[in-house]
Structure 1
Amino acid sequence: MSDALPIAGGSDVRRYLRGLFGRHPRAIGIALALHVLAAAAGLAAPRLLGQLVEAVHDGTSVDHVDRVALALAGFLVVQTVLTRYARYRSQVFGEQILAELREDFVDNTLNLPIGTVENAGSGDLLTRTSRDVEQLGWSVRWAIPEWLIAVITAVMTLIGAVLVGWWVLLPCLLGVPPLVIALRWYLARAKDGYLWEGETYSTINASLTETVEGARTVEALGLQQARIDRVDDDITESYRAERYTLSLRTIFFPTVETAYLIPTVATLLLGGWLYLRGDASLGEVTAATLYVQALIDPVDRMISILDELQVGGASLARLLGVAQVPEDRVATGRQPVDEKIDAADVRFSYVEGRDVLHGVDLSVGIGERIAMVGPSGAGKSTLGRLLAGIHPPRTGSVTVGDVGLTELPLSELRGHVALVTQEHHVFVGTIRDNLALAVDEAATDARLLEALDSVDAGDWVRALPQGLLTKVGSGGLELSPAQAQQLALARLVLADPHTLVLDEATSLIDPRAARHLERSLAAVLEGRTVIAIAHRLFSAHDADRVAVVEDGRITEFGSHHELVAADGSYADLWKSWNS
C-alpha cells in the first residue's frame, strides 16, 4: 500500500491560521465592528417589547404603541443594513483567505519531492486537491463568517440580558453544563472521525485511478472482478467512517437541543417568582425571557456550524500536511565549477533493505553522449533519475561540477540537468502555452517554432488552422502520443539545460521517425551532455560511450566498437539487434 502524505497537527493548524489572519488586521477589524453594531441594533427589540408589555399592563395609548412599533421597525432596518454589509465584508475577507490558502497549497504541492508523490500515489493528492479544497472553501466562505456572526450575536445578546438584571445569568448558566459535556464528548471524537473519512476517500480515488490507468492490464489479465472487489472493500470502509461520524451527530445534536430548553424554562420560572415577590417588573421578565430565547438561535448556529468547522479543520490539516513532507534536498549555496557529471559508489533503494543500485561509478565528460543499455529492470531508469537529481542516493554521491545534485535548488538544478521520460503531459491551453512553460520571459513565435522545427514538429503545427494558438488538451485538439512527445522535447529545447537525461524519450514514435528525430535533436544539442537510456541500439551506436547496466551495476563501459570487440553482454545484444 502507498505511503499517505502527512497530516498537520492541531498546533500547526492554529499557528498557520494565526499567521494568516495576522496579515489582515484591518479587514478583520472592519468585519468585527460591523457585526458588533448589527448585534447591538438587534438588542433593542426585546427591551422595547418588554417595556411595551409593561405599558399595556399599566394602561397606554395607541400613539405609544405606534411609536414603539416605529422604533422596532427602525432598529430592524438598521440591523438588516449592518448585517448585510457585515456579511459582505466577511465573505470578501473569506475569499481573500481562501485564495491565500490555495496559493500556499499549490506552492507546497509543486515543491513536493517526486519520489514522495510516487510513493503516496495519485489518489491521496487528488483527494486533497479536490474534496479537501472544496470542503475548506465551503468552510471559509460560509461556515467561518456565519460562526463569527453567531458568536458576536450570542455575546451581545447575553450582555443585553444581563443589563435587564443580574439574575438572568443564573438560568443561562444552568444550560452550560450539558452543553460543555456534549461538546467535550463530540470534539474528542469528531476530528479523528473526519480525518478517517478523508483517508477513505483518498483510498477510493487511488483504487479507481489505478484501475483506469491500468485498464488494459486489468483486461488482459482478467482482473476485472478483483478490481471491483477492491473498490467495494474501499467503499465499505468509507461507509464505516461515514456511519461513525453520523452516529456522533445523532447523539450530539439531540443532546444540545435538549440543553437549549433549560435556560428558557428556568428564566420563566425564576422571573415569575421574582415578579410575584416584587423584585422584577413584568417588562423586565418579558425582556429577559425574550433575550434568553433569542440567545438560543446564535448558540444553536455556533454548535451546528462547529460540525462544518470540524470537517473544514480536518481538510485544512490534510492540506497543510503537504508542507510537512521532508525535503529530499538541502540547498548549500555552493555553485558547480563546471558541468561534469560524476556518480561515485551510488546505492539506492525504493524499499528499505532492498537496493536496486549496487555501488555504481560513472563519470560523464562535458559534451559527451552516453548511452545506457541493458535488460528491463536492470536499473537504467533509476540510475537516470539519480543522474537527473530526481532522487538522492542512499549512499555515495551524484555531483555536477563537484556539487551534489540535491544541494541545488530545483530551479537552479534544471539549468544544469533535466530528465525527459516516455511519460508526457499535454496541458489544457494552446500549443503556445504548452511551450512557453519552459521559459520565464516572453518567448516569440519564431523562437517557439524554431524549437518545434528542431524536433520535427514545426510542419504539422504550422499546418493547423490556428497554428501555435490551437487549443490542445482536454476539450481541445487531441494530439497523438508521438505529437505530445514532440511537444515535450520542444519544451526541453527551450529550457536549454546543459545536460539531458533521455529515458526512452522517443519510444512512442515509430523507429524510422525516431531515428530522424534523434539526429535532429543531436544537431540542436551539439556541445551539450546527453545521457540516453534506450532499448534501440542505434542510439548506442551513435554515442561516444555505452554503459551496460545489469542487476543494478555497470558491467561494461566503453565505445560501441570497444564493447563489440570485447565480445561481452553488449556484443550479444548487438548481434541480437542486427539478426
Structure 2
Amino acid sequence: MSAQNDAPVRPPRRRGPGPGPGGPLGMGMPGEKAMDFKGSLLRFARTMRPERTRVVLLVLCGIASVALSVTGPRILGHGTNVIFEGVVGSMLTAQGVPAGTPAAQVVDSLRQQGQGRVADMLAGMGNVVAGQGIDFDRLGRVLLAVLAIYLGAFLFGWLQARIMTVAVQNTMRRLRDEVEAKLHRVPLSYVDKQQRGEILSRVTNDIDNVAQTTTQTLAQLITSVLTVVGVLVMMFSISWILAIVALVTVPLSVIVTTQIAKRSQPQFVTQWASTGRLNAHVEEMFTGHSLVKVYGQQDAAAEKFDAENHALFDASQKAQAISGTIMPSMGFLANLNYVVVAVVGGLRVASGSLSLGDVQAFIQYSRQFTQPLTQVASMMNLLQSGVASAERVYELLDAPEQVEDPAEPRQIADVHGRVAFEDVSFSYDPAKPLIEHLDLVAEQGKTVAIVGPTGAGKTTLVNLLMRFYEVDSGRITLDGVDTRSMTRDTLRSSIGMVLQDTWLFKGTIEENLRYGLRREITDEEFLAATRATHVDPFVRTLPDGYATKLDDEGSSLSAGEKQLLTIARAFLADPEILVLDEATSSVDTRTEVLVQHAMNALRSGRTSFVIAHRLSTIRDADVIVVMEHGSIVETGDHDTLLAAGGAYARLYQSQFAAPAVDDDAPSGPALPGGTAAARLMAARAAAAKRS
C-alpha cells in the first residue's frame, strides 16, 4: 500500500536504503531501560504453569536422583574404611601385636606406652583386628551397592531430562502461538513503527534463545538446589564442625556472583537489542537489494552492516567476558574450601573424632556442595541472556492492541455495498491533523475514483474503511451499519483489494490464486477469471503451468505478471466491495488497456474504490473525488471536473496537456522539455563548466 506516500505524517515503514530517523538507514538506537530480571523470570514461570504436572514430576525425579547421588559417597566411605581397617590390622601384626587382638586392647596398650595421639586415631577407625586383612566380601558388597545407587541416579536423571524437554518444548509452542495471535491483534500502526527485522528477531531468535536457555538451565537449577540441600544434610550428619567450615565460602560465592551479574546484565540487554538491529538491517538490505545496487549504496550498506556487527560484537564480548569471570571465581572459592576441609578433616582423623572414610566422604560432599554452586554461577550468563530475550518477547506481547471487536457484532445478511464516510476525522499524529470532518458516499454498484497529489490521504481512506486504523471521530457505515459494530473479519470478507505492492507466498501459482477464497470454485470459473485478467496466456508458457512453484518474492515473474496474479486473485474472491490501489501501475500500457476492460467487468455491480495517479485509468468512474491535504476539494465525473478547470483539471493537464512546470522556479529561457528537472540539470551543467 502507498499510505506512507499519501500521508507524510504517518510513521514511516523502514524498508529499504535511504535516510530515516536515527541514522542514514533509519536505524535509530532504541532507548534502553533497566531490565526487570526478577519480574520477567516470574512471568516466565507463569508461562510454564500449564506444565506444572510435568514440573512436579521433574522435581520428584530430581529428588530421587539427588538422594541416590548424595548417598553414594557415604557408602563409598564405608568401603574406604574396610580397606584401611584391613591395612592397619596387617600392620599391627607386623609390629608384633598378636593376631586376633581387638582394637580396644591395642588402644589401651598404646595409651599406657604414652602414644595417646596414635591411640586416638586407632580408636576412631572402627573394627580393627590385628592380623585381619581386607574383608573383600564386605568390600564387594559395598561396591555393588554403590554401583546400584549411581545407576539408579542415572536413570532418574535421564527421565528428568526427558520430562524437561517435553515441558520446555510445549511451553515454547504455546509462546509462539501467543506471539502469532498477538501479531494479528496489534494495530497496523504498531507494525508500521517497527522494523520488520526487529519483529522477526523477537519471534525467532529471542524465542529460540529462551528455549535453549530453559533446556540447559531448568533441570540443572532444580538438581543443583536439591543437591545443595541433600549434601548439607549429609555433611552435618558426618561432622557439624566441618559443615560450618564448608559453609563459610557460601556468602562469598553469593556476593561474587551477584556483583558480576549486576555488571553483565545490561550488556546482555544491549547484545540482544544489537541482534535485532542487525537482523533488521540485513532484512532491509536483502529486500531492497536491487535498489542498493542501482543507487550504488553497496559500500554504505556494508559500512552500516559493519557498524551494527561491531556493536553486536562489542556487546556480546562484554557480556560474555564479564559473566565468564563467574566460573573461575567460583572455582577459586571451591579450591579454597577444599583445602580448608582437607586440613581440618585431617586434624579430626588424627584426633580420632572421624574415620578416614568419613573424611573422604566429606571431601566428596564438599566438592558436590561447591559444584552445584559453581554450575549455577556458570549458568548465570545463560540465564541472564535467556531472561533478556524473554523480556523482549514479553514487550511484544504487551504491545497495545487494536480495539476489540464488539461482544455482540452486527451482521449484514446480504451486503449491497453502500459505503458512507460521515464527518470522519483522523490523523496518524495527533499534532498533525490529516483528515477533518470528511463526508463521502459511495452508492451501491458505483465506482468512486480517488485522486490527488502524494500525501493527500487517498490510501488513508482505504485504511479507515478496512479498519486497519480506527477513525478519531465520525463513523464509516456499510449499508447503514457502523463498521465498528461489525467484526473485522466480517467487514473484510466483503472487500477485495488489489494493491500497488504485490504479495505472493511460497507455493504454486494456483495456490496463490486460490488464496482466501470463501467458496469452492469450478475449474471453468477458475480459467474464466485467469483468462479475463490475461494471466492464462503467460502461465501457459511456463514449463509447469499453474503448478509452477514460486518463492515468497515471486522472483521468477516480472513485476507486471505478479500484478496480474493479484488482480486475478481479486476476480476469484468475488467481493461485494472492490479496492484498487494503483492496481495497474506495474503493467505495460498495452496490458493495462486489456486489464482495464477486465477490471470494468469486475467492477460491474460492485461498489469500487479506485486510487490512481494515472488518470487515464479512471475516466469512466461514476464519481471522481479529488483530495488535497486530507480534504475533498472536488467531486464529479471526468467531463464535469475537466470543464470546471479546478484541481482535477490541473492534474489532468499536467499528465496529458503540458509538461509539468515548477511554478516556484525562477523564470528563464525555455529549455528542452520546459521542466524543472531540465532546468536543474542545466544549472548543474553550468556550475560544472564554471568550476
The farther-off stretch of 469-478 and 510-519 is 469-478
Instruction: Show the counterpart of 2:79.
Output: 52
**Contact (CA 8 Å) 1:470, 1:477: kept in 2 or not?**
no
Distance 1:15 1:172, change over 3 A: same
Instruction: Show the counterpart of 2:185.
Output: 111
Output aligned runs, 1:395-410, within 5 Å: 395-401=473-479, 405=483, 408-410=486-488
Output aligned runs, 1:416-565, within 5 Å: 416-439=494-517, 448-449=526-527, 451-461=529-539, 464-473=542-551, 478-565=556-643
Instruction: Show the counterpart of 1:26.
Output: 53
For residue 279 of structure 2, the aligned residue among 205, 230, 252 is 205
Instruction: Show the counterpart of 2:410.
Output: 335
TM-score, normalised on structure 2? 0.75
Output aligned runs, 1:157-556, within 5 Å: 157-215=231-289, 217-218=291-292, 223-332=297-406, 333-335=408-410, 339-401=417-479, 405=483, 408-439=486-517, 448-449=526-527, 451-461=529-539, 464-473=542-551, 478-556=556-634
User: How far did residue 531 of structure 1 move?
Assistant: 0.7
Distance 1:304 1:454, change over 3 A: farther
Query: SS at 2:449's partner residue?
Result: strand
Query: SS at 1:280's partner residue?
Result: coil
The farther-off stretch of 139-148 and 442-451 is 442-451
**Contact (CA 8 Å) 2:405, 2:488: kept in 1 or not?**
no
Distance 1:377 1:218, change over 3 A: farther
In structure 2, C-alpha distance between the alignment counterparts of 1:420 and 1:457, rounded to whole Å: 15
Summarize deviations over 1:380-421 as a string: whole Å, max 9, x none: 223332233222234544443555545654323312445432
Output aligned runs, 1:68-79, within 5 Å: 68-79=142-153
User: How far did residue 438 of structure 1 move?
Assistant: 0.9
**Contact (CA 8 Å) 2:334, 2:370: kept in 1 or not?**
yes
Distance 1:251 1:477, change over 3 A: closer
In structure 2, C-alpha distance between the alignment counterparts of 1:281 and 1:441, rounded to whole Å: 85
Q: Which amino acid aligns with 2:557?
A: L
Distance 1:210 1:359, change over 3 A: farther
In structure 2, C-alpha distance between the alignment counterparts of 1:108 and 1:389, rounded to whole Å: 17
In structure 2, C-alpha distance between the alignment counterparts of 1:72 and 1:442, rounded to whole Å: 69
Query: SS at 1:355's partner residue?
Result: coil
Query: SS at 1:24's partner residue?
Result: helix
User: How far did residue 77 of structure 1 move?
Assistant: 2.6
In structure 2, C-alpha distance between the alignment counterparts of 1:571 and 1:263, rounded to whole Å: 91
Whose radius of gyration is greater, 1 or 2? 2
**Contact (CA 8 Å) 2:78, 2:142: kept in 1 or not?**
no
**Contact (CA 8 Å) 2:326, 2:378: kept in 1 or not?**
no
**Contact (CA 8 Å) 2:265, 2:319: kept in 1 or not?**
no
Question: Is residue 39 of structure 1 aligned with residue 39 of structure 2?
Answer: no
User: How far did residue 46 of structure 1 move?
Assistant: 0.5
User: How far did residue 369 of structure 1 move?
Assistant: 1.0
Instruction: Show the counterpart of 1:92.
Output: 166
Distance 1:520 1:440, change over 3 A: closer
Q: Which amino acid aligns with 1:335?
A: R
In structure 2, C-alpha distance between the alignment counterparts of 1:336 and 1:441, rounded to whole Å: 19
Distance 1:145 1:507, change over 3 A: farther
**Contact (CA 8 Å) 2:70, 2:227: kept in 1 or not?**
no
Number of equivalences: 579
User: How far did residue 534 of structure 1 move?
Assistant: 0.8
Question: Is residue 133 of structure 1 aligned with residue 160 of structure 2?
Answer: no
Query: SS at 2:634's partner residue?
Result: strand
In structure 1, C-alpha distance between the alignment counterparts of 2:346 and 2:634, rounded to whole Å: 100
User: How far did residue 355 of structure 1 move?
Assistant: 3.4
Distance 1:11 1:287, change over 3 A: closer
User: How far did residue 292 of structure 1 move?
Assistant: 1.4
Question: Is residue 143 of structure 1 aligned with residue 236 of structure 2?
Answer: no
In structure 1, C-alpha distance between the alignment counterparts of 2:519 and 2:237, rounded to whole Å: 66
The farther-off stretch of 471-480 and 64-73 is 471-480
Instruction: Show the counterpart of 1:63.
Output: 137
Distance 1:273 1:89, change over 3 A: same
In structure 2, C-alpha distance between the alignment counterparts of 1:461 and 1:5, rounded to whole Å: 50
User: How far did residue 16 of structure 1 move?
Assistant: 4.3
Show structure 2 runs of 5+ residues with no match.
1-20, 87-133, 658-691
User: How far did residue 215 of structure 1 move?
Assistant: 4.7
Query: SS at 2:624's partner residue?
Result: strand
User: How far did residue 450 of structure 1 move?
Assistant: 5.1
**Contact (CA 8 Å) 1:379, 1:550: kept in 2 or not?**
yes
Distance 1:410 1:246, change over 3 A: same
In structure 1, C-alpha distance between the alignment counterparts of 2:221 and 2:508, rounded to whole Å: 44
Summarize deviations over 1:82-104 as a string: whole Å, max 9, x none: 32232222222222222222222
Summarize deviations over 1:52-88 as a string: whole Å, max 9, x none: 1222222232222222222222223323333223222
Q: Identity, % of aligned pairs?
A: 27
Q: Which amino acid aligns with 1:373?
A: V
Q: Which amino acid aligns with 1:256?
A: M
User: How far did residue 443 of structure 1 move?
Assistant: 6.6
Query: SS at 1:486's partner residue?
Result: helix
Distance 1:273 1:142, change over 3 A: same
Show structure 1 runs of 5+ residues with no match.
none
The farther-off stretch of 142-151 and 504-513 is 142-151
In structure 1, C-alpha distance between the alignment counterparts of 2:398 and 2:498, rounded to whole Å: 28
**Contact (CA 8 Å) 1:122, 1:206: kept in 2 or not?**
yes
User: How far did residue 546 of structure 1 move?
Assistant: 0.3
